[in-house]
Amino acid sequence: MSGSTTEDTRDPSAEDSERLPFTAHLEELRTRLIKCFAAVILGFAGCYSFSQVLFDFVFAPLLRVLATQGGTLAIHRVQEGFLTHLKISLLAAVFVASPVILYQLWKFVAPGLYRHERRYVWPFVATATMFFFTGASFAYWVVLPFGLEFLLGMAGQQVQNLLSIEEYMAFSTKLLLAFGLVFEMPVVVFFLARMGLVTHEPLARGRGYALIVIVIVAAILTPPDVFTQIMMAVPLYVLYEISIVVARVCARKREEQEAREA
């Protein structure tokens, strides 16, 4: 039991950080944000060289739907094409810099963790990055094609689709980032459960409340139409159920570990 007590003691640096004034925590947050911003800027510098390739990739789902339903893309402002290339490069830069952003997030909360909890930094960065890309891929390959076909088809064959590239860019960016973020739920629950901060019992009992929150979150993160909200709410609830299973498994492993130590 003594080894467990030693392992669970906090580092002196963690105890000192807890005694730091609020301004010191703000300074630490500013430092982490600057590093995240620098990573995004470096990613943007590299991604802008491939902005046309990225443009073709992002607009491919829309062009496939327009090819079957009829319609064309349009530019409503002179600078719209240039700004769209900048936005696409920035979006790609966020994905490229996501491991750095997640690492800086972990380092910001690390002073409040126990010594044995800090070793999860690289598993957290790796799995969180993987789930972020998985969520964005689900939005790109599933939600966007079905959503665009449904939404554009609602107008009927007598209406010609004339879409602004700026409007589609805002629509697709919001979906990609939103799905990337919501797919982080099992990862967050896993590490919270490993640290003993979350258990599966309250998660299982709160399914009804969770469903209401999920519907609200889907309404906030997606464009104002029912179809895309459902396309987010359903996977989000599935992820919630997966999180319950993950928390249950983590709790069982923690109990087994405590029994061995005892």
Considering only residues 151 and 93, tell me which one the structure prediction assigns the higher pLDDT: 93
pLDDT score, position 207: 87
Contact 229, 147 (CB under 8 A): no
pLDDT digits (tens, 9 = 90+) for 1-10: 344 444 444 4
DSSP string, 66-116: HHHH--EEE--STTHHHHHHHHHHHHHHHHHTHHHHHHHHHHHHGGGS-GG
Q: Is 185 helix (H, G, I), strand (E, B) or coil?
A: helix
CA 105 from chain centre, in angstroms, equals 13
pLDDT score, position 87: 95
Considering only residues 16 and 107, tell me which one the structure prediction assigns the higher pLDDT: 107
Total H helices, total E strands in the chain: 13, 2
Contact 109, 191 (CB under 8 A): no
Both tokens of 4, joined, read 């467990």
The domain segmentation of the chain, as residue ranges, is: 15-169, 184-262
For residue 164, the cross-strand partners are 74
Residues in the chain: 262
Dihedral sign from CA coordinates of 35, 38, 40, 46? negative
DSSP string, 136-179: HHHIIIIIHHHHHHHHHHTT-TTS--EEEHHHHHHHHHHHHHHH
Report pTM. Answer: 0.81
pLDDT score, position 21: 67
pLDDT digits (tens, 9 = 90+) for 12-35: 444 444 455 667 778 888 999 999
